[in-house]
DNA sequence: GACTTCACTCTTTTT
DNA sequence: GAGTGAAGTC
């Protein structure tokens, strides 16, 4: 045990060895919070205070859960089996699978991902003749998820106006439809679990008694429903209360947009009468200048629990800041800097390029590709989200639960088999009339379309019959063939990648079966029906069935059901080119929890970072600032920031001002390395930018256009230039009209808005540094 | 019914 | 720019 606790600093040690009471650990970035969390679990078990089955550890991402499990197995001689370690969604899924009857779900219920949820809502709107202009599907989806995240069913949502009343009505219809189809969305997983525990006392008491220690990672990201679920599980206010050990950092709360409520931290402190509050402020990750920047920036947020990171590492290198002329040039600069880092010996995988939104990766990817540098993009199009993979999954879903209409519609005519709009409409009418699924409605459709539908049903059932005894990977292989998907893509010109992805699915299934402990040859369908005979079922209280704590996944789920859950819940990290040493590209959001020797934060422009939509939301800019804080604190040794004068976004060029966050960084930690070039588009003055970059492609045209426009206005002002106005403050020239003494400039003054000023009259200053 | 083309919108982050 | 949905053509 000495081993376990050595090398912990006093605060970490105190946190790890706290008595079994509720505790709140304020853990700054890079302060070793995962270490504290896992060491505490190990310590609790090694000191005999709790058995593995008494532990529940909740995270938000699958990555974090996996990491925790790995670290624990390294620390503990005992197996991590029996502990409940996972994401909120993963654990709730497991819980609902175990108690599917008690929460009125079919044993093979399936999970809708956001895509499926949206398409389902669209269908619902259509079926009910709702004007989708007035009630956009996305809004309704947001409305529903929001309600669920707060733990509210339709009958408990307050409607303030007719629009909301209608939305509530649709919410109810939506829930009914889900129930008919035997599908649940993400939020529903949590809400069902919560309601079941709420309603079912013996069950609740069983779990309360079981989980002596509940540990929550990234507590600042919990939403109201998740917090309430934790309260219920911990048995807050009860005699047998479990200890809730919450680790979080209010400065890293970046998920308010999906219902996260930082207020849960102070609510927790208050409601659980937390006496043990420990701050971890010693940072082991970043050099001084980087940490100073982070501290300085985040100090601009008002509502904070208060925390300042310190480090023993020296100042290190200053933060380098670069102003590029365009997004292309920004990418070029990143590549040059990355190359020189690698010359100094940096590993490619230790260099991260971060951006605010996924759309920004395109330009950088392009440049990296052209430069021949290997890179990996995280997030974005994930494996299980790819169209061809979703198609294959849909066939599997239909075989496990034919009433999943989303799956049905996805593949009923893909590959095409002569079932068109009219057949589908007839089918939907029949299904609506009898209140049944599309699959179940097939017998009610007569005529020609009826017979093609029938053969589709036969296809699905034939596949099920054929694969009845096969193991999951073999089953997947058969389905890929039988569905005609493989053949379809073989005939397609650009189908090679897709076929590869489909074949990859067999591997994914093989790996999954192994990792989850399903027997190598276990039939894909078999599993749940056998659990009663395994003797793992206990009966308590009013005949409530409780499968014992240690029941592994393979007892409550068939390999197929489990695999389908996995596909929805894990989405598959963009198939990481394992082993490949590559540059890491990702959004700031997905960088959370990671660290790199060198980090580039790109696109630091007003409107992009902070994002323009943030100014509309309450405390939106504060959240953007926290996001920036997360980005900065990812870096160990080197930090780069960049912004550009012009950027191609959504098909048009935009001219943004540099991000306000630059003004919130400590000047002494920064080094501005952009060349100060006034008019690099004019031929006479050679800029230090490589003019070669304008020699080809569409950018060349844009550059010429801009140069022409600028030239016609004589020396002085050009588009993209930063200016200052006595009244309006700082701005960026977005456009210049006319010439000579008539020249007028359209200037984006950010806070003061867009203005058109007469250049011969307006008093403008150049903004230099 | 299948397939192509065109016009249109919506562009933040994700379990 | 991409993805969607509607309309047009075979």
- Does the pLDDT value for residue A581 go beyond 70? yes
Q: Which residue is nearest to nucleotide B11 (CA to C1')?
A: A650
Task: Say which residue, A683 or A597, is predicted with more confidence.
Answer: A597
Q: How confident is the model at residue A709 (pLDDT cuts 50, 70, 90)?
A: very low
Which residues neighbour A614 within 8 Å (Cβ) at sequence distance 6 or greater?
Answer: A620, A621, A623, A624
- Does the pLDDT value for residue A677 go beyond 50? no
What span, in angstroms and rounded, lies between the C-alpha atoms of A355 and A352? 10
Q: Which residue is nearest to nucleotide B12 (CA to C1')?
A: A357
Residue A77 approaches strand C within 7 Å at CB: no
- Does the pLDDT value for residue A113 go beyond 70? yes
Residue A651 approaches strand C within 7 Å at CB: yes
- Does the pLDDT value for residue A737 go beyond 70? no
Q: Strand C positions with any atom < 7 Å from protein CB?
A: 1-2, 5
- pLDDT of A626: 94
**CA neighbor of A668 nearest in space, from A284, A296, A251:** A296
- A333's tokens: 């600069």
Kindly report, residue by residue over A347-382, the tens digit of the pLDDT.
Answer: 999 999 999 988 888 889 889 988 989 988 887 677
**CA neighbor of A459 nearest in space, from A495, A441, A477, A484:** A484
- pLDDT of A191: 97
Kindly report, residue by residue over A115-162, the tens digit of the pLDDT.
Answer: 899 999 998 988 888 887 888 889 899 999 999 999 999 999 998 888
Q: How confident is the model at residue A619 (pLDDT cuts 50, 70, 90)?
A: confident
Kindly report, residue by residue over A280-299, the tens digit of the pLDDT.
Answer: 999 999 999 999 999 999 99
Kindly report, residue by residue over A14-29, the tens digit of the pLDDT.
Answer: 999 999 889 999 999 9
CB A554 within 8 A of CB A518: yes
Q: Which residue is nearest to nucleotide B13 (CA to C1')?
A: A589
What are the two backbone dihedrals, phi and then psi, of residue A319, each rounded to the nearest 5 degrees? -80, 125
- pLDDT of A550: 54
Q: Is A416 annotated as belonging to a binding site? A: no
Q: Is A272 helix (H, G, I), strand (E, B) or coil?
A: coil
- Does the pLDDT value for residue A37 go beyond 80? yes
Q: How confident is the model at residue A240 (pLDDT cuts 50, 70, 90)?
A: low
Q: How confident is the model at residue A540 (pLDDT cuts 50, 70, 90)?
A: very low
**CA neighbor of A213 nearest in space, from A69, A31, A84:** A84
- Does the pLDDT value for residue A339 go beyond 90? yes
Burial of A313 (0-12, 13-18, 19+ CB in 10 A): middle
- Does the pLDDT value for residue A490 go beyond 70? yes
Q: What is the mean pLDDT of residues A52-71?
A: 89
Task: Point out the residues of A that are catalytic.
Answer: 33-34, 217-218, 252, 634
Nucleotide nearest to A126 (CA to C1'): C5
Q: Strand B positions with any atom < 7 Å from protein CB?
A: 1-3, 10-15
Burial of A49 (0-12, 13-18, 19+ CB in 10 A): middle
Q: A650 CA to B11 C1', in Å?
A: 7
- pLDDT of A76: 83
Q: Which of A24-28, A105-109, A477-481, A494-498 has the lowest mean pLDDT?
A: A494-498
Q: What is the mean pLDDT of residues A420-440?
A: 89
pTM of the model: 0.85
Q: Which residues pair with A84 in a beta bridge?
A: A56
Burial of A309 (0-12, 13-18, 19+ CB in 10 A): buried
- A741's tokens: 């003494």
- A716's tokens: 């002085």
Q: How confident is the model at residue A618 (pLDDT cuts 50, 70, 90)?
A: confident
Task: Say which residue, A510 or A736, is predicted with more confidence.
Answer: A510
Q: Give the helix/strand (H/E) hosting A392.
A: helix A387-400
What span, in angstroms and rounded, lies between the C-alpha atoms of A710 and A736? 7
Q: Where are the alpha helices (H) located in A435-552, listed in sequence order?
A: 438-441, 447-466, 472-482, 485-490, 496-515, 531-534
Q: Is A591 annotated as belonging to a binding site? A: no
What span, in angstroms and rounded, lies between the C-alpha atoms of A479 and A355? 39
Cα Dmax for chain A = 91
- pLDDT of A422: 84
Q: What is the mean pLDDT of residues A564-586?
A: 76
What are the two backbone dihedrals, phi and then psi, of residue A313, each rounded to the nearest 5 degrees? -70, 155
Q: Is A606 helix (H, G, I), strand (E, B) or coil?
A: coil
- Does the pLDDT value for residue A471 go beyond 50? yes
- Across A19-30, b (16+ Cβ under 10 Å) vs e yields eeebbbbbbbbb
CB atoms within 10 A of CB A390: 19
Q: Which residues touch strand B (CB under 7 A)?
A: A 60-62, 87-90, 113-114, 136, 138, 186, 254, 257-258, 356-359, 379, 413, 416-423, 448-449, 569, 571, 587, 589-590, 611, 613-614, 617, 650-651
Q: Which of A303-312, A376-385, A558-567, A726-735 has the lowest mean pLDDT?
A: A726-735
- pLDDT of A751: 57
- A63's tokens: 């990555």
């Amino acid at each position: 045990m000495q081993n376990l606790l050595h090398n912990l600093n006093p605060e970490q040690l105190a946190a790890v060895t706290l008595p079994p009471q509720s505790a709140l650990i304020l853990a700054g970035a890079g302060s070793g919070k995962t270490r504290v969390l896992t060491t505490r679990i190990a310590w609790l078990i090694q000191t005999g205070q709790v058995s593995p089955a008494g532990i529940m550890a909740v995270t938000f991402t699958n990555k974090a859960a996996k990491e925790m499990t790995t670290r624990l197995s390294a620390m503990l001689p005992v197996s991590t089996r029996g502990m409940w370690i996972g994401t909120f969604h993963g654990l709730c899924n497991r819980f609902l699978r175990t108690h599917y009857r008690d929460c009125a779900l079919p044993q093979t219920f399936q999970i809708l991902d956001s895509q499926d949820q949206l398409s389902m809502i669209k269908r619902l709107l259509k079926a009910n003749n709702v004007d989708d202009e007035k009630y956009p599907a996305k809004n309704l989806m947001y409305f529903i998820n929001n309600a669920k995240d707060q733990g509210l069913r339709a009958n408990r949502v307050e409607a303030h106006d007719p629009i909301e009343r209608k939305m509530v009505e649709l919410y109810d219809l939506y829930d009914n439809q889900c129930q008919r189809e035997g599908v649940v969305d993400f939020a529903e997983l949590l809400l069902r679990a919560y309601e079941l525990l709420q309603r079912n006392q013996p069950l609740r008491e069983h779990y309360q008694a079981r989980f002596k220690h509940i540990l929550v990672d990234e507590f600042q990201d919990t939403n109201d429903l998740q917090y309430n679920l934790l309260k219920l599980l911990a048995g807050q206010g009860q005699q047998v209360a479990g200890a809730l050990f919450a680790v979080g950092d209010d400065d890293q709360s970046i998920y308010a947009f999906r219902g996260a409520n930082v207020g849960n931290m102070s609510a927790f402190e208050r409601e659980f009468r937390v006496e043990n509050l420990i701050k971890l402020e010693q940072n082991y990750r970043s050099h001084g200048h980087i940490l100073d920047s982070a501290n300085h920036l985040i100090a601009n947020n008002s509502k904070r629990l208060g925390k300042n990171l310190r480090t023993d590492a020296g100042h290190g290198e200053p933060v380098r800041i670069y102003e590029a002329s365009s997004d292309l040039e920004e990418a070029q600069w990143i590549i040059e800097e990355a190359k020189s880092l690698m010359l100094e010996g940096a590993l490619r995988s230790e260099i991260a390029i971060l951006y605010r939104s996924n759309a920004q990766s395109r330009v950088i990817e392009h440049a990296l590709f052209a430069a021949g540098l290997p890179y990996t993009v995280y997030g974005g199009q994930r494996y299980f989200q790819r169209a061809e993979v979703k198609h294959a999954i849909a066939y599997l879903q239909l075989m496990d639960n034919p009433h999943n209409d989303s799956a049905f519609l996805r593949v009923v005519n893909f590959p095409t088999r002569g079932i068109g709009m009219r057949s589908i409409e007839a089918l939907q009418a029949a299904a609506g009339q009898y209140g049944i699924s599309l699959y179940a409605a097939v017998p009610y459709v007569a005529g020609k379309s009826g017979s093609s539908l029938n053969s589709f049903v036969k296809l699905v059932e034939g596949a099920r019959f054929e694969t009845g005894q096969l193991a999951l990977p073999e089953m997947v292989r058969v389905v890929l063939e039988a569905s005609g998907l493989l053949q379809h893509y073989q005939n397609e010109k650009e189908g090679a990648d897709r076929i590869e992805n489909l074949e990859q699915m067999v591997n994914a299934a093989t790996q999954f079966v192994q990792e989850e402990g399903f027997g190598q040859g276990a039939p894909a369908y078999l599993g749940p029906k056998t659990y009663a005979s395994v003797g793992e079922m206990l009966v308590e209280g009013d005949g409530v069935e409780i499968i014992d704590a240690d029941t592994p996944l393979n007892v409550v789920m068939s390999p197929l059901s489990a695999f389908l859950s996995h596909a929805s819940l894990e989405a598959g990290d963009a198939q990481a080119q394992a082993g490949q040493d590559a540059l890491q590209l990702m959004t700031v959001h997905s960088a959370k929890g990671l660290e790199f020797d060198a980090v580039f934060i790109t696109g630091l422009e007003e409107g992009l970072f902070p994002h323009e939509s943030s100014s509309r939301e309450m405390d939106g800019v504060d959240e953007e600032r926290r996001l920036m804080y997360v980005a900065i604190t990812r870096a160990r040794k080197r930090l780069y920031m960049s912004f550009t004068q012009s950027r191609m976004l959504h098909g048009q060029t935009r001219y943004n001002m540099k991000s306000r966050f630059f003004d919130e960084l400590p000047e002494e930690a920064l080094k501005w390395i952009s060349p100060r070039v006034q008019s690099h588009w004019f031929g006479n003055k050679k800029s230090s930018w490589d003019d070669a970059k304008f020699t080809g492609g569409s950018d060349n045209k844009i550059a010429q256009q801009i140069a022409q426009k600028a030239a016609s206005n004589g020396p002085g002002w050009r588009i993209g230039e930063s200016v200052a106005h006595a009244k309006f403050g700082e701005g960026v020239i977005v456009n210049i009209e006319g010439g000579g003494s008539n020249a007028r400039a359209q200037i984006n003054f950010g806070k003061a808005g867009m203005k058109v000023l007469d250049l011969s009259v307006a008093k403008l200053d150049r903004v230099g540094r």
